[in-house]
Amino acid sequence: MVLSIAHRITGIALSVGALVLAYWLSAASYGPDSFATAQSLLASPFGLLLLLGWTFAFFFHLCNGIRHLAWDTGWGFDIPKMYATGWTVIVASVVLTALTWAIALA
């Protein structure tokens, strides 16, 4: 139940992130000053925290979506498999987020 609610919340967070991406792209099209402002906002500690959160939301939504696709085939409905796949989604999301940020900051 918690992962189902989190799936919906990450979907909303990704929608907000898409708006920020649109802002960033439009700032780039308006010229160097607008782009520098957008870059400074996203490079601030708060902006980096938001980007980290959106990265996790992306990977969580992706991994949980794959889990739902498996359920659509009828696989994984017994309780032990549900718990195992739920924890797999969480661990995979954290690992993929950490790997993405490690590669980006290297």
Q: Each residue of 15-56: pLDDT tens digit?
A: 999 999 999 999 999 999 999 999 999 999 999 999 999 999
Asked if pLDDT for residue 80 goes beyond 90, the answer is yes
Rounded Cα distance between 56 and 13, Å, is: 10
Asked if pLDDT for residue 82 goes beyond 90, the answer is yes
Rounded Cα distance between 19 and 29, Å, is: 15
pTM flag (> 0.85):
yes
Alpha helices (H) along the chain: 2-30, 32-43, 45-72, 79-105
List the chain domain ranges.
2-105
Asked if pLDDT for residue 83 goes beyond 90, the answer is yes
Rounded Cα distance between 98 and 102, Å, is: 6
Question: What pLDDT does 85 receive?
Answer: 96
Do 94 and 57 meet the contact criterion of CB atoms below 8 Å apart? no
- Take residue 13 and report the two structure tokens written for it: 């967070």
Please report which confidence band the pLDDT of residue 57 belongs to, taking 50, 70 and 90 as the band edges: very high
- Residue of 38, 58, 66 whose CA lies nearest to 100: 58
DSSP state of 76: S
What is the number of residues in the chain? 106
Instruction: Please state which CATH number belongs to domain 2-105.
Output: 1.20.1300.10
Question: What pLDDT does 15 receive?
Answer: 97
Question: What pLDDT does 1 receive?
Answer: 84
